[in-house]
Amino acid sequence: MTIFSSHYKTAYSIWIFLLSLDLDILEVKCTSVAEVDRHLQMGVQMLAKGQLHDALSHFHAAIDGDPYNYLTYYRRATVYLALGRSRPGLQDLDEVMKLKPDFTAARAQRAGVLVKLGRLEEAHIDLEKVLRKEPTHEEANRLYTMIEPIKRDVLEAYSHVRTGRYQHALLLLKNAIDSCPWDAALRELRVEAYQAIGDVMSAIADMRVTTKLIQDNTDGYLTLATLYYQIGDIEQGLSEIRECLKLDPDHKNCFTLYKKIKKVNKLVNDAQEYVNTKEYEECIISANKVLKEEKELQEVQFLAYNKLCQCQVHVDPTAAVTACRHALNIKEEARLYCDMAEAHIADEMFDEAVSDYQKALNIDENLQRAKEGMERAQKLNKQAKKRDYYKILGVKRTANKREITKAYRALAQKWHPDHYDGEEKDKAEKMFIDIAAAKEVLTDDEMRTKFDNGEDPLDPEQQQGGPGGHGFNPFQHFHFHQGGFPGGGFPGGGFKFHFN
């Protein structure tokens, strides 16, 4: 009796516990029903207003409260699809079909999603079930008649790509992708065809879509980074390869490409920084390193030749012309012709400079730099037939003040009139004056700029007032006096000059 009584008490306690538990569940369920209804109503209202993200939040909450309401899944699927999120939308439609297999509207909608995803066999099965129940279903009939033609186009497209008939493949793939826009495999096939015909920008557009269609698409980001690098968009290539490494830090191919793009990107940026700071020799070093790093892709090499074209003008004009031509062979730009014209001017090849500026204007007739450059080159060409201070001192147009002063001192010593007699003395005096005038112009920033623009600051005809005007002509004002050396004396005396 005692044992029975003990068992009885235990059973009774369990029964009391379960009863209380059921009451709690009932209370929560009653509360949840009201809450679920509120979320459903709010979700429908937000959906009607087009506030899709708010509607989605309310449908999430409704499904959490009641995971067996097929209509809530259907509504949420509608929102997902409106947001372009096919994967969760399809999952919700699958759930609807489990809960309500005879829900024709949902099945037809799922068939439409499957067609867009390129899952044509599954779509075919759904459409047949819909048409058995509703033979006149307009959308189902439209989709059903599309499936076989799409299949044929896809098979032919694959065949054309494999046999190198890329243009034919692209025509077929356009129609197929229009019908199946969420099929990543079709877009990848079209990327292959675009790459084969050299249409990299179209390949990039398709590959970018695949990174959204496929979760954790490391291979897609790798391809995208490679394509951007191929067209010389180093910054964007670096950005895409970083996305790959975010998904998989140990991805071997992504890491290898990352190291290369990062290095080239730094060299290109360094070269540009040296252009900005006028450190032209450093710019040349960085640009040459780019060429050493990238020996195949012309669009990347273009970045290096472009910088060499800009920087060599200030160091080695002949090398600049070569670099400019390399760049122009890859990509013809008006700016490059202007850079090459500057190099030709530095080498005193004025006719060639005029020709370069004309080519720039043929590309862009409104390019002000080319118009002004053309006028300047023509002036310099005319000036070269008169007096050229660079030639007098025997220095390049890129010479700095130290090089100009050094050349002046050497020539002034050579042609100092104190070293000559008779007629030779007269010739030496004229040479001496020309040398001093050249030094005067080329060591004065303002006068040198005028001369470099085709105007002789010591020619009265080119100054204000013109011939017979008030222009200053130092050649009429040089006088020699015994003792001293222009800009510093010779030991033992000599001549000096001054302006009256």
Output the average pLDDT for the chain: 86
Give residue 487's domain range: 399-457+473-500
Q: Could you read off the pLDDT of 402-416 as tens digits, one per residue? A: 999 998 898 888 888
What span, in angstroms and rounded, lies between the C-alpha atoms of 179 and 195?
A: 23
* Boundary-marking domain end, from 232, 249, 264: 264
* Residue 463 pLDDT level (bands cut at 50, 70, 90): low
Answer yes or no: is 186 within a domain. Answer: yes
Q: What is the pLDDT of residue 78?
A: 92
Show the 3-state SS of 413-480.
HHCCHHHCCHHHHHHHHHHHHHHHHHHHHHCCHHHHHHHHCCCCCCCHHHCCCCCCCCCCCHHHCEEE
Mean pLDDT over 26-33 rounds to 50
Q: How far is CA 397 from CA 232, 339, 385, 433, 452, in A?
A: 33, 15, 16, 20, 8
Answer yes or no: is 21 within a domain. Answer: no
Q: How far is CA 247 from CA 207, 217, 224, 244, 262, in A?
A: 17, 8, 15, 5, 18
Answer yes or no: is 423 within a domain. Answer: yes
Please give the biggest Cα pair distance in the chain.
156
- CATH assignment of the domain containing 403: 1.10.287.110
- CATH assignment of the domain containing 259: 1.25.40.10
Candidates 83, 73, 72, 79; CA nearest to 48 is: 79
Q: Could you read off the pLDDT of 162-190 as tens digits, one per residue? A: 999 999 999 999 999 999 999 999 999 99
Answer yes or no: is 80 within a domain. Answer: no
Q: What are phi and psi of 296, to 5 degrees?
A: -120, -50
One DSSP character per residue, 3-22 reads: HHHHHHHHHHHHHHHHHHHH
Rounded (10°) CA dihedral 278, 281, 283, 287: 160
Answer yes or no: is 436 within a domain. Answer: yes
- Identify each DSSP E strand in 140-291 by its residue range: none
* 28 pLDDT more than 50: no
Answer yes or no: is 240 within a domain. Answer: yes
* Boundary-marking domain end, from 239, 264, 289: 264
* Boundary-marking domain end, from 247, 264, 281: 264
Q: What is the pLDDT of residue 499?
A: 36
Q: Could you read off the pLDDT of 345-387 as tens digits, one per residue? A: 988 898 999 999 999 999 999 999 999 999 989 888 887 767 7
Give the chain's domain count.
Answer: 2
Question: Are the C-beta atoms of 296 and 316 separated by less than 8 Å?
Answer: no
Q: Could you read off the pLDDT of 428-454 as tens digits, one per residue? A: 888 888 888 888 889 989 988 888 887
What span, in angstroms and rounded, lies between the C-alpha atoms of 315 and 104?
A: 78
Candidates 109, 117, 82; CA nearest to 93 is: 109
Answer yes or no: is 484 within a domain. Answer: yes
Answer yes or no: is 166 within a domain. Answer: no
